[in-house]
Amino acid sequence: MAGLRYLSGFGNEFSSEDPRCPGSLPEGQNSPQVCPYGLYAEQLSGSAFTCPRPANKRSWLYRILPSVKHKPFTAVPCGDLTETWNEVEPDPNQLRWLPFTIPKSTEKKVDFVAGLHTICGAGDAKTRNGIGIHVYTCNTSMVDRCFNNSDGDFLIVPQQGEILVTTEFGKMMVEPNEICVIQQGMRFSVDVFGETRGYILEVYGAHFELPDLGPIGANGLANPRDFLCPVAWYEDRKVPSGYTIINKYQGKLFACQQDFSPFNVVAWHGNYTPYKYNLKNFMVINCVAFDHADPSIFTVLTAKSTKPGVAIADFVIFPPRWGVADHTFRPPYYHRNCMSEFMGLIKGHYEAKEEGFLPGGGSLHSMMTPHGPDADCFEKCSTAELKPERVAEGTMAFMFESSFSMAVTKWGLQTCQRLDKSYYQCWEPLRSHFNPNWRPSKQ
């Protein structure tokens, strides 16, 4: 959307005023007796008051009416959005989904909230420890409706179609190959411009942060300056017919009515904001000598658990890069993992499985489930000439990796009817190359 402005940085202490109301931020204090322009002061806390400063998240919003002015919440149908992890029996198999179906607008109007479907997850929002992986498939904009997640943070990965996200902090246009994060408690609405699809990583009990760089040094991977948060924008709009606030609370959906737009924040300041990031800005680090580095070097954002070095969830990408490793099998290695790995494809062809893993689809390799390159990839790359080459050109695959053993929902296994039951066959042609007479060559 032409003309949208952003503030640059990750976790900064930002401040922003809608230029239509200069001086709307109070000077020298957060909650004056009378705010400029007759606004209400409201704090949005994303952490406990007593968290250490590096982890303390809050913002002050100066709004035309406070968010407390609404009718009571009542339960509404959740559709395919769920936190029920025992609907069906566990399935430890390698799972792959064909591109998830987008409803046709000529058949049924579906907005972002109505188009949410949970694929898998684990944990519990009530105990503030868990994860949910969803897709959204929609074809129409939210009208006089907004969404609020009281359970956790949404990391949204558009795959088809850009989305215009209106938040209490301002507007963000998010296109495929970009991501955005809407943190716990932030109200937002989504406009779409046609048939639209994407992925969502939800975490309970932690916020996303940049991974520690260790010996990489001070720079690299996703640099803080490339993250963008919106600038203040407000609408003073009455909605006599009723504006609907949809609240995800303890895994269920509730709705309430009010007679005004919630996007009435004239100014704000703080370090608890929504933000977006363009994946093309990721500074890729890769092996330049031999062997295949672990995919953790491609981590964009992490939501840490209480155990050092172990994440509730990591958001990892596999961007275009150079492959130069000598005497090395360059694609990902065969693997069994104490983590769960959900993969999606935004565009292009994933190097380890060029057939069957398609944009808009996904795969899940659960805890300790074997996975790795298909037979064609192994045979081709075991004999390829090892010259410098571009890897994943025109491609962007990603991974939601979690320390949780995730359960797949009934929608994911059955209702969506997109599960590729032939997935296991991509490894069936693997054959033994064992030669007991092999001896090291003499130098």
Residues serving a catalytic function are 292
Instruction: Tell whether 178 is in a known binding site.
Output: no
Distances (CA, A) of 120 to 81, 184, 202, 251: 10, 20, 11, 13
Is 234 annotated as a binding-site member? no
Is 341 among the annotated ligand-binding positions? Answer: yes
The answer to the question of whether 371 is labelled as a binding residue is yes
Binding residues for homogentisate: 350, 371
Annotated binding residues: 335, 341, 350, 371
- Binding annotation for Fe cation: 335, 341, 371
